[in-house]
Structure 1
Amino acid sequence: MASWSSAELSRIGGATELRIASRRADGSLRGFVTIWVAAVGDDVYVRSAHGVDNPWFRRARRSGAGRISAGGVERDVALELVPEDDAVHPRIDDVLHAKYDRYGPAYVGAIVGEATYPATFRIVPG
C-alpha cells in the first residue's frame, strides 16, 4: 500500500479544503466536490457533512477510487470506509474541531460526533 510523504501530509492537513472526485464505472472522474479534511497520524480523512445518503458519498463509496486536490497536492486515491468502531474517530473529531470551530457549531456539528462516523473515508494514495 502506498503512503503519504510527510510533505504531502503537511500540505493536505494544512489545507482548509480538499477537493475530491470519485471515479465512474468507466474510469472517468466525476466533478470535484469541496470538503473539509483532517490529517491524523499518517492518514488523511474526510466526512460527509450530510451523512451516508449524500449523493457524492454514495457514489464515492460505490467506486472506492477517485482523485483529490488539496494544498497543492493532486493524487489518484483509494477511498476506504472507516469502521464505525475504529478508535481513530475521536482523534478525527479533535482535528476537525481545531481546524473548523471558528465557523460555528452548525457547520462543525455536521462532521463531528458518533452520528458522523459511518460517513468517514480514509483517503489512501494510489
Structure 2
Amino acid sequence: MTDWNATDLEKIAAAEELDLASERADGTLRHPVTMWMVRSGDHLYVRSVKGTDGPWYRGTRSRHQGRIDAGGIRTDVTFHAAGPGEYAGVDAAYRKKYGHYTSIVEHVLTAAARASTLRLEPR
C-alpha cells in the first residue's frame, strides 16, 4: 500500500466531486465518470450507487487501476475493495460531506453501495 502525499490528499478530499477513469484490459483509459468521493482517515473512498452492478464499478475490476482528477490533482491510482471494518467510517464521511443532499446521500449508504466501496491508493 502506498500512502498519499498529505497535500494531494487534502486537495482531493476537499473537492466536491472526483473524475474517475478506470483502465481497460488493454491499458487504455475508459471515459471518466464524475462521482462523489470521501476521505476517512488518511484514505480516499468511492462507492457505486448501483452497487457492484454499476457500470463504472465493473470497469474497475479488469485491471484494478486507473486515473482520478479532483482538486487540481490528476494521478494514477489502484482500486482496492474496502472491508466491512471500513464501512462505518466511510458512511460517516459521506454523511458529513454530502449530508446537505438529504434525499440523495442515502443512496450511497445502502448495503449494495457499501459492497462496492473502493479505497483509492496512489501508484
Bin of the TM-score, shorter chain as denominator length? over 0.9
**TM (normalized to structure 1)?**
0.92
Q: What does residue 31 of structure 1 align with?
A: 31
Which residue of 1 is the match for residue 117 of structure 2?
A: 120
**Equivalent AA in structure 2 for residue 111 of structure 1:** V
Distance 1:61 1:26 in 2: 13
Q: Give the TM-score normalised by structure 2.
A: 0.94
Corresponding residue SS for 2:61: helix
Q: Which residue number in structure 2 is paired with residue 100 of structure 1?
A: 98
1:74 aligned residue: 74
Deviation at 1:6, TM superposition (A): 1.1
In the TM superposition, structure 1's runs of 4+ consecutive aligned residues that sit over 4 Å from their partners are: none
In the alignment, structure 1 segments of 5+ residues that lack a partner are: none
Between Structure 1 and Structure 2, how many residues are aligned?
123
| Mapping of residues 36-55 of structure 1, within 5 Å | 36-55=36-55
CA distance, structure 2, for counterparts of residue 55 and residue 113 of structure 1:
17
- For 1:14-72, what per-residue CA distance to the aligned partner results, in whole angstroms no more than 9, with x for missing partners? 11000000001111100000010111111110000111101111111222010000101
Contact preservation (8 Å) 2:52, 2:112: no
Give the Å deviation of 1:113: 4.2
Gaps of 5+ in 2: none
How many Å separate the matches in 2 of 1:14 and 1:99?
A: 9
Question: Percent identity over the alignment?
Answer: 38
Question: How far apart, in 1, do the equivalents of 2:34 and 2:117 lie?
Answer: 15
